[in-house]
């Protein structure tokens, strides 16, 4: 009996030793030696793991940067140009500056502008409400006001304004990670260039319905009249599906378009107030006898 036991122990031990040796050699053959630059790049990233760079986290981004043969097209919105410059120094690349962006809300359907017609009593998430109905104001494109975007922001850069019923973006805190853009089922939030002196001009509406229909639900809806398109000398405004869109790469911030909009759908951010037009004075006509 005892000799059977000893035999079993010897056989099992032998199997164990052989397996360990085989596994050791397999591990040696297939081991991946990580580039030490990955650690260096990772520690120079902000560690926010927000996904704003397009990768699952800072480690994945660091790996992609180290394995890339140039850094064009890579950008960490949280760290900005400074961090990308440091990464370039580690990896020995010249890194050009990228225009900083900020989130903007392309809907101005506040309680005042788009009065509520119904009351929603379901699960308080925009994703749920979006699949269910057009929204309390009746605008099928407008903000649902249930704050999915606010909850998605890990930088405390958004809050819901109780008075307007709309989310507010705190531009000093927004790092343009894009989490809110992805969270909004209505695709209302856009990342746009911050602009010189943080100045921006954009159409704050994404309603594609015909003008009269859009206006029924919201008095500041874009009605697709094209008045802004006509006045823009830089071809920065396009009109598609009853909706104007301002290309921030072409817009020179000349401010000609906003006053032309009959529904005030174009928003100008961080500009000084417009000068009141002086009342037309009668031209003096000198009569020379």
Binding site for ligand SF4 (CB under 6 A): 103, 126, 143-149, 152-153, 155, 157-158, 167, 169, 174-180, 183-184, 186, 188-189
Q: Report the nearest approach of ligand SF4 to the CB of residue 42 (Å).
A: 21
When the beta carbons of 237 and 245 are compared against ligand SF4, the nearer one is 245
Look up residue 114 and give its DSSP letter: S
When the beta carbons of 130 and 255 are compared against ligand SF4, the nearer one is 130
Q: Report the nearest approach of ligand SF4 to the CB of residue 240 (Å).
A: 21
If we measure between CA atoms, which residue out of 118, 61, 71, 111 comes closest to residue 218?
A: 111
When the beta carbons of 6 and 132 are compared against ligand SF4, the nearer one is 132
Q: Report the nearest approach of ligand SF4 to the CB of residue 12 (Å).
A: 57
When the beta carbons of 142 and 224 are compared against ligand SF4, the nearer one is 142
- Separation CA 202–CA 188 (nearest Å): 12
Here the tokens at position 229 are 């398109």
Q: Report the nearest approach of ligand SF4 to the CB of residue 189 (Å).
A: 6
When the beta carbons of 45 and 179 are compared against ligand SF4, the nearer one is 179
Q: Report the nearest approach of ligand SF4 to the CB of residue 204 (Å).
A: 12
- Phi and psi at residue 105, to the nearest 5°: -95, 115
Q: Report the nearest approach of ligand SF4 to the CB of residue 238 (Å).
A: 23
- What is the number of alpha carbons within 13 Å of residue 287 lying toward its C-beta? 1
Taking residue 140's Cβ as centre, other Cβ atoms within 10 Å add up to: 16
The DSSP secondary structure of 16-60, one letter per residue, reads HHHHHHHHHHHHHHH-----HHHHHHHHHS------TTSSSSHHH
When the beta carbons of 6 and 123 are compared against ligand SF4, the nearer one is 123
5-19: b or e for each residue (b if 16 or more CB lie within 10 Å)?
eeeeeeeeeeeeeee
């Amino acid at each position: 009996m005892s000799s059977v036991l000893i035999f079993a122990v010897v056989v099992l031990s032998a199997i164990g030793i052989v397996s360990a040796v085989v596994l050791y050699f397999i591990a040696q053959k297939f081991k991946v030696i990580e580039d030490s630059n990955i650690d260096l790049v990772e520690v120079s990233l902000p560690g926010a793991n927000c996904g704003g760079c397009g990768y699952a986290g800072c480690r994945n981004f660091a790996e992609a940067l180290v394995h890339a043969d140039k850094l064009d097209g890579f950008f960490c919105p949280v760290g900005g140009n400074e961090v990308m410059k440091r990464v370039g120094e580690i990896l020995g690349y010249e890194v050009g500056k990228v225009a900083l962006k900020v989130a903007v809300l392309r809907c101005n359907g506040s309680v005042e502008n788009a009065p509520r017609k119904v009351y929603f009593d379901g699960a308080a998430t925009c994703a749920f409400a979006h699949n269910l109905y057009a929204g309390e104001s009746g605008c099928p494109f407008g903000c649902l006001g249930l704050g999915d975007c606010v909850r998605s922001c890990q930088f405390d850069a958004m809050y819901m304004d109780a008075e307007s019923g709309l989310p507010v973006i705190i531009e000093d805190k927004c790092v343009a990670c894009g989490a809110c853009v992805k969270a909004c089922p209505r695709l209302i939030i856009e990342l746009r260039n911050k602009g010189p002196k943080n100045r921006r001009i954009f159409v704050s509406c994404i309603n594609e319905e015909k003008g009269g229909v859009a206006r029924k639900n919201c008095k500041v809806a874009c009605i697709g009249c094209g008045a802004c398109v006509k006045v823009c000398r830089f071809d920065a405004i396009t009109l598609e599906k009853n909706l104007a869109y301002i290309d921030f790469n072409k817009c020179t911030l000349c401010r000609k378009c906003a006053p032309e909009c009959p529904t005030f759908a174009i928003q100008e951010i961080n500009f000084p107030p417009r000068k009141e037009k002086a009342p037309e004075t009668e031209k003096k006509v000198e009569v020379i006898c």
